Amino acid sequence: MPQCALAIEEILLTAGFPKGVFQTLLIGSQKVDRILNDPRIVAATLTGSEKAGIEVGIGAAKRIKKVVLELGGSDPFIVMPSANLDEAAATAVKARIVNNGQSCIAAKRFIVAESIADQFERKFVSKMEALTLGDPFDENTELGPMATKEGVSELDADVRKTVAAGARVLTGGKPLECPGNFYAPTVLANIPRNSPAYGEELFGPVASLFRVKDIDDAIKLANDTRFGLGASAWTNDPHERERFINDLDAGMVFINKMVASDPRLPFGGIKQSGHGRELGPYGIREFTNAKTVWVEAGKEAMKTHS
């Protein structure tokens, strides 16, 4: 992510924008308020944690400055009976382990219709267990290490709290004793509402598996979180597709596809996942101002140009 932000800065300079009109700052949250207080800063955007987003949002609000926040997510991945189960299960694994599970738009909560839940669970767990772990620079590696030891510890603490609350571990559930910050590919089921895995953002290769009786329950559960970044729904039923598009509380809804970033399309969430949009024409316009210009032509000027 930092490399992408730095590359955008370089592109704008190459395109001829004045130096300093856009700057990427790789800083800690303790410096944000002082920077936002500088009158030369007219707007800011942040990709980061919910806590960091609050700091930037408060700092910008105090100075009446525009801000775009792209924060965390607890994205649902919903599978209905009409879906292609093989494709859904295979994509579910990819959607969960993207960037080794450390992505805001990685699918985190897998919500499956009861009638197909056993089949999906077997396929999903089997594929999670079959992942090849190793060096991220090895092209055969499917799941690499997490970024930090602290991240592994925080993830493990959330899993332990969830299990202590009554959840069941279908596979994994602990750090791996090997070089590197590895956490075992994990699937949790029977997850209580008062546990971290129910609606928090578990940042790592841990999937929360839920069973629902119908589409109404699926949408209700998917929306039962303070986050609203992306959502993926798998169905070949036209009515269900329209329900998901209209009723899921998310900034992005993907049907029969995992949530992904595409530079042609607006990217961003609602609720505690942030506000504003990146990418596409919407992303560019977030940091422009619409100036209204009205020139009243006098009678003489009208005659001249008639």
Distance between CA atoms of 172 and 243, rounded to whole angstroms?
34
DSSP states of 196-230 as a string?
A: HHHHS---SSEEEEEEESSHHHHHHHHT-SSEESE
d(CA 173, CA 238): 37
Written as six digits, the tokens of 25 are 């700052």
Nearest to 251 by CA among 231, 275, 269: 269
Ranges of beta strands (E only) in the chain are: 43-47, 66-70, 75-79, 107-113, 168-171, 186-189, 206-212, 227-228, 230-234, 252-255, 270-271, 274-275
CA distances from 257 to 45, 83, 195, 206, 209 (A): 28, 11, 28, 20, 18
Q: Rounded to an integer, what distance in angstroms lies between the CA atom of residue 80 and that of residue 113? A: 5
* 3-class secondary-structure state, position 186: strand
How many Cβ atoms sit within 10 Å of the Cβ of residue 272?
A: 20
Backbone angles phi, psi at 270, to 5 degrees: -130, 180
* Residues designated as active site: 70, 104
Residue 46 near residue 67 (C-beta atoms within 8 A): yes
Pairing of strands 168-171, 227-228: unpaired
CB 43 within 8 A of CB 65: yes
Rounded Cα distance, 129 and 209, in Å? 15
